[in-house]
Amino acid sequence: MEKQTLALHSGYDSLSGYGTMAVPIYFNTAYNFGTADMAADRFTLKDLGYIYSRLSNPTTDVFQKRLAALEGGSAAVATSSGQAAVFATMANLVKSGDTILMSDKVYGGTVTLLTSSLANFGVKTKVFDAENTNELESLIDDTTKAILFETLSNPQISIADVDSIVSIANKYDIVTVADNTVLSPALYNPIKDGVDVVIHSASKYISGQGLSIAGAVVSSPKLNEKLKNNSRYPLYNEPDETYHGLVYSDFTDSFDIFSLRLVFRVLRDFGMTISPFNSFQLIQGLETLDLRMEKHSKNALEVAEFLANHPKVKSVTYPGLKNSKGNKIAKEKFKDGLSSGLLCFEVENYDIAKEISDKTKIFSVVVNIGDSKSIITHPASTTHSQLSQSELKTAGISSGLIRLSVGLESAKDLIADLKQALD
């Protein structure tokens, strides 16, 4: 089936329950096991039915199944935020002493999570260039457990060289993790290009209207094979004493062991569970994702073309623009060459950048992306203000850089708004 159809129907049978067409919100913490034996079977994972909503919930299940179908994954696990999705993924792969290879162009929260908070837990991070991967292989050693990058990065709008990252990772049987927040499953599916784990901040395009904070982790049908009997990943191949010595690799291939462990170890212990209400809202978001991504992308292209011709604008970064650096890959990999709603442009300096954001009337000064309403952000004074000068430079963020998240308004009005702010 095509993605537009899956987004509306997969993971839910409207003839189940009361026959409701909309997926019901199961606003529920606990489940009645009926008998003590059934309760015991659930706790030893002999029966994978519902135990408690920190682990799983019927409304959340529909969202997870639908997202997995849209990404071409074997399973998905929703989390309370995108940050939680990144943390949960890493907690499902690394132990103290291990190393994560992280792209130099990722979300500011991912940088601080890995380089500071996970460093406090004894997990090391090494940085690589996701556009030019020449040095990536030299960073790999026995402690390397994950290679993390963003498919289209926020806020630099840089496209990762997915094919080469995947081929290097596969040579060493290392798990690749792609944050696909900016493109969304409507425009690109990293799993089809061999990525093992796809992360989303569902707070952005999937939620769609700036409504819910949420995240998700999708695993590839090929990930079981990479983890099983791979000495790099003891968490999957050695007994889990908290489940009486269960070994995740012993599950048959009808179970996705990465998402199984993510639920039964990571959600169980760290508790970054999504609310069923937010899962319900994300289900509504998925229904229109395809339509919205098309309109976001078309509006962004019109805005980018306007900015590229404005004398006060030093440069525009948008892969949808002809002659831009990413245009060739965008055309080759993204649905119809559509490049999402995010773009960056550079003006002379910090003060001018701040002045422009103050003068816009339709674009709001907000640190978010993927809302239906257009947003203007000055990363150097907001999202990336915690980074040092040298970290900003590595992240490719100049002080005059402005990020736009182009919404679903009329492109004509958006361009008029930017014109009066720039002139």
From 19-27, 37-45, 80-88, 395-403, give the range in contact with ligand PLP by CB under 6 A: 80-88
Contacts of 339 (CB under 8 A, 6+ apart): 152, 187, 297, 300, 301, 318, 319, 320, 326, 330
In the complex, least distance from residue 215 CB atom to ligand PLP, rounded to whole angstroms: 5
Q: Within 10 Å of residue 210's Cβ, how many Cβ atoms?
A: 18
* 24's tokens: 């019901």
**Rounded CA gap, 190 and 52, in Å?**
32
* 284's tokens: 């509504």
* 324's tokens: 């831009």
From 76-84, 222-230, 289-297, 412-420, give the range in contact with ligand PLP by CB under 6 A: 76-84
**Rounded CA gap, 94 and 86, in Å?**
12
DSSP secondary structure string for all residues of 104-137:
SS--HHHHHIIIIIHHHTT-EEEEE-SSSGGGHH
- Mask of contacts with ligand PLP, 140-179, x by CB under 6 A? ----------x---x------------------------x
In the complex, least distance from residue 110 CB atom to ligand PLP, rounded to whole angstroms: 6
Q: Of all residues in this chain, which one has the CB nearest to ligand PLP in the complex?
A: 82
Nearer to ligand PLP, 110 or 115 (CB): 110
Among 57, 74, 176, 203, binds ligand PLP (CB under 6 A): 203
From 78-86, 169-177, 292-300, 324-332, give the range in contact with ligand PLP by CB under 6 A: 78-86
Nearer to ligand PLP, 89 or 203 (CB): 203
Among 60, 144, 201, 220, binds ligand PLP (CB under 6 A): 201
Beta strands in 129-168 (DSSP E): 144-150
Nearer to ligand PLP, 240 or 391 (CB): 391
User: Of 86-125, which residues contact ligand PLP (CB under 6 A)?
Assistant: 107, 109-110
Count of helix runs (H) and strand runs (E) in the chain? 18, 12
Helices (H), 242-275: 257-261, 268-270
In the complex, least distance from residue 106 CB atom to ligand PLP, rounded to whole angstroms: 7
246 - beta bridge partners?
240
Verify binding: residue 384, ligand PLP, rule CB under 6 A: no
Best CA proximity match to 92, nearest among 221, 301, 272, 362? 272
Nearer to ligand PLP, 61 or 150 (CB): 150
**Rounded CA gap, 166 and 318, in Å?**
24
Verify binding: residue 346, ligand PLP, rule CB under 6 A: no
Q: How is residue 326 annotated by DSSP?
A: T
From 33-41, 77-85, 137-145, 279-287, give the range in contact with ligand PLP by CB under 6 A: 77-85
Catalog residues that contact ligand PLP under the rule CB under 6 A. Answer: 81-83, 107, 109-110, 150, 154, 179, 181, 201, 203-204, 213, 215, 369
